């Protein structure tokens, strides 16, 4: 756990073995393409066939289902998703700055100060964090050394000046988005060192999504409440105010959908989220956040001090709930506490899953509390409002609060019912077969012979049907133990800590030291780098991700 890692040195946490052979009983090979690269895609198809699902399967003789690798997402969709994320970012930030300038021109100095405060202060904090991550990645034997920058001081100084200028101009996230796009395209186009490009892209994309999630709930969410409150108080809505509010709302929903899609794409124990699922997730967030923000803005337009008290109390209650539930996102205690405080801010506006297991009961509790709070807030506003000023929009505003909430819940049910990439958490039966052992991560004994031995490449096509009928492994087989004379696959990083459970990020995403080790090994060895956590019987190979850009 995160707390257990405190006080341990780098050598204690990460034991790198450059020449240790990989445990053959812990590696699985896809029967469709004879590699471990699409391991999770075939695993989900095999699970679907065992459960009787027909998606992506066909029936062959003997009643055994035949499974195939699911098609990869098209490259243009991946690129379009990132480009749209960049456009949403520019739309959000640009409209906020234009609106602040408009308030200054109209001599509304209070609204100008608040709008500019919520636009700049969160951005500065995020840029500081982004630059700190850059320093950690490029110093102490990190990317700067493996890329040869440490030997060329002039080039290293140029890189540092370039990054400093980018972050001073508040463009750190823009640079990370562009770099993610470049690395992703190169990981698809370059056959040489493909895994190196791919993992550089995954690390960069994870960083920018975490930064955007932090910034949107520190900047876009308060900005949205502020602009709606101004419109209600002044009893009029300017075009620029509406455009800015819409940009903030879309930014919140987009970041949440993108964050959850990437989080699932980064883990081999979870099925990836499709773009259709991401769009439905986005609309779910749009509706629920709209309802919540409208209720908060109505209440804040009349009760300024009580609104602040309500926000602080709600944040404290949600933060306590998160701490009580127990989270394991970060590598140290103080980072975990900071993370719980940020999640408490997120819970002011929307639901955010931070604990593994079935979330149905927690979501029911959260949305029940939010509905009750929205009812109280809007009820107090309606009781104490000025009828002469608000009769024109009072009823539509109340209808908007409840209709958008109901719409969000309906879209959420559609998402979880049809497009949620849920993984069936089933337990093997007492008469557990080798299929069940592989599906649920139970290792076969090292001395046990493989149930379906690998076949030569020229015989693979002829024997696929025989393997599917005669064994209980329609998709997998266990790789035979390599002869001692064969070239060993290389380096294996053993991590002396349990693997973090979904919805947490894996340690090699959030721990910069481990990420630095992976980057160094990616550059110095031509073989695939492997990762094994203490409680993971299956080898966690870096080449098995094919679900995203």
pLDDT tens readout for residues 393-405: 999 999 999 999 9
* Residue 134 burial by Cβ neighbours in a 10 Å radius (0-12, 13-18, 19+): buried
Q: Average pLDDT for residues 330-345, to the nearest whole number?
A: 85
Task: Select the more confidently predicted residue: 270 or 288.
Answer: 288
Q: Average pLDDT for residues 316-320, to the nearest whole number?
A: 93
* pLDDT band at residue 17 under the 50/70/90 scheme: very low
Residue 45 pLDDT greater than 70, yes or no: no
Residue 55 pLDDT greater than 60, yes or no: no
pLDDT of residue 44: 38
Residue 94 pLDDT greater than 70, yes or no: yes
Question: Taking Cα atoms as reference points, which of 227, 221, 236 lies closest to residue 288?
Answer: 221
Q: Is the peptide bond before 90 cis (omega within 30 degrees of 0)?
A: no
Q: Average pLDDT for residues 436-445, to the nearest whole number?
A: 32
* pLDDT band at residue 490 under the 50/70/90 scheme: low
The total number of structural domains that make up the chain = 1
* Highest mean pLDDT of the ranges 10-14, 26-30, 332-336, 490-494: 332-336
pLDDT of residue 545: 35
Structure tokens at 255: 């970041």
- Strands, E, within 413-544: which ranges? 476-478, 492-495, 530-533, 540-541
Residue 483 pLDDT greater than 50, yes or no: no
Is there a contact between 207 and 176 (Cβ–Cβ < 8 Å)? Answer: yes
35 occurs within a structural domain: no
311 occurs within a structural domain: yes
Q: Average pLDDT for residues 107-111, to the nearest whole number?
A: 93
Q: Average pLDDT for residues 208-229, to the nearest whole number?
A: 94
pLDDT of residue 148: 52
Give the SS3 label for residue 359.
Answer: coil
pLDDT of residue 2: 39
* pLDDT band at residue 140 under the 50/70/90 scheme: low
Task: Select the more confidently predicted residue: 20 or 407.
Answer: 407
* pLDDT band at residue 144 under the 50/70/90 scheme: low
pLDDT, mean over the chain = 74
31 occurs within a structural domain: no
298 occurs within a structural domain: yes
* pLDDT band at residue 356 under the 50/70/90 scheme: confident
88 occurs within a structural domain: no
- Strands, E, within 318-396: which ranges? none
| Dist. CA 354–CA 502, nearest whole Å | 8
| Dist. CA 200–CA 192, nearest whole Å | 14
Q: Determine which of 92-96, 339-343, 486-490 has the lowest per-residue pLDDT on average.
A: 486-490
Task: Select the more confidently predicted residue: 517 or 435.
Answer: 517
DSSP assigned state of 29 = E
Sign for the pseudo-dihedral over CA of 226, 228, 230, 232: negative
Residue 205 pLDDT greater than 60, yes or no: yes
400 occurs within a structural domain: yes
pLDDT-above-90 percentage for the chain: 42
268 occurs within a structural domain: no
Question: Taking Cα atoms as reference points, which of 260, 254, 311, 316 lies closest to residue 286?
Answer: 254
203 occurs within a structural domain: no
Q: Average pLDDT for residues 430-456, to the nearest whole number?
A: 35
Q: Determine which of 13-17, 258-262, 360-364 has the lowest per-residue pLDDT on average.
A: 13-17
pLDDT of residue 373: 96
Residue 496 pLDDT greater than 90, yes or no: no
pLDDT of residue 474: 30
Structural domain including 347 reads 274-420
Q: Average pLDDT for residues 383-411, to the nearest whole number?
A: 93
pLDDT of residue 489: 57
* pLDDT band at residue 469 under the 50/70/90 scheme: very low
């Amino acid at each position: 756990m995160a707390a257990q890692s405190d006080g341990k040195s780098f050598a204690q946490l990460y034991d790198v073995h450059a020449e240790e052979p990989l445990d053959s009983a812990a590696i699985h090979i896809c029967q469709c393409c004879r590699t471990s690269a699409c391991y999770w895609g075939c695993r989900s198809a095999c699970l679907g066939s065992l459960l009787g699902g027909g998606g992506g399967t066909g029936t062959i003789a003997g009643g055994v289902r035949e499974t195939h690798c699911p098609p990869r997402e098209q490259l243009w969709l991946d690129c379009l998703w990132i480009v749209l994320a960049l456009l949403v970012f520019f739309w959000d930030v640009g409209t906020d700055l234009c609106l602040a300038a408009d308030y200054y021109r109209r001599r509304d100095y209070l609204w100008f100060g608040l709008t500019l405060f919520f636009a700049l202060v969160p951005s500065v904090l995020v840029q500081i964090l982004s630059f700190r991550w850059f320093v950690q990645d490029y110093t102490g034997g990190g990317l700067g050394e493996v890329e040869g920058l440490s030997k060329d001081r002039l080039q290293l100084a140029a890189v540092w000046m370039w990054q400093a200028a980018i972050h001073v101009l508040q463009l750190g996230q823009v640079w990370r988005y562009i770099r993610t796009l470049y690395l992703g395209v190169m990981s698809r186009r370059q056959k040489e060192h493909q895994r190196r490009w791919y993992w550089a892209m995954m690390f960069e994309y994870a960083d920018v999504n975490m930064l955007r999630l932090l910034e949107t709930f520190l900047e876009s969410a308060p900005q949205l409440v502020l602009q709606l409150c101004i419109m209600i108080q002044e009893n009029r809505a300017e075009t620029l105010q509406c455009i800015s509010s819409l940009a903030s709302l879309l930014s919140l929903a987009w970041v949440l959908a993108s964050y959850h899609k990437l989080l699932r794409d980064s883990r081999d124990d979870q099925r990836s989220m499709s773009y259709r699922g991401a769009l439905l997730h986005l609309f779910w967030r749009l509706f629920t956040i709209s309802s919540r923000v409208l209720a908060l803005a109505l209440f804040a337009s009349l009760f300024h001090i009580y609104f602040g008290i309500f926000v602080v109390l709600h944040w404290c209650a949600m933060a306590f709930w998160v701490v009580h539930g127990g989270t394991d996102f970060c590598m140290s205690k103080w980072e975990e506490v900071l993370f719980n405080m940020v999640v408490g801010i997120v819970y002011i506006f929307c639901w955010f899953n931070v604990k593994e297991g079935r979330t149905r009961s927690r979501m029911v509790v959260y949305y029940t509390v939010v509905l009750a709070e929205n009812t109280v807030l809007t009820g107090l506003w309606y009781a104490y409002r000025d009828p002469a000023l608000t009769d024109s929009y009072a009823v539509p505003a109340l209808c908007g609060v409840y209709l958008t909430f109901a719409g969000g819940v309906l879209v959420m049910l559609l998402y979880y019912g049809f497009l949620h990439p849920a993984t069936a958490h089933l337990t093997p039966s007492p008469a557990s077969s080798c299929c069940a052992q592989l599906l649920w991560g139970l290792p076969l004994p090292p001395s046990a012979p493989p149930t379906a031995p690998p076949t030569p490449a020229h015989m693979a096509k002829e024997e696929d049907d025989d393997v599917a009928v005669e064994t209980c492994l329609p998709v997998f087989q266990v790789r035979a133990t390599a002869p001692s004379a064969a070239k060993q696959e290389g380096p294996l990083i053993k991590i002396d800590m349990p693997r973090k459970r979904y919805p947490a990020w894996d340690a090699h995403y959030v721990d910069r030291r481990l990420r630095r080790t992976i980057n160094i090994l990616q550059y110095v060895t031509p073989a695939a780098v492997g990762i094994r956590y203490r409680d993971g019987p299956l080898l966690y190979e870096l080449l098995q991700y094919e679900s995203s850009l």
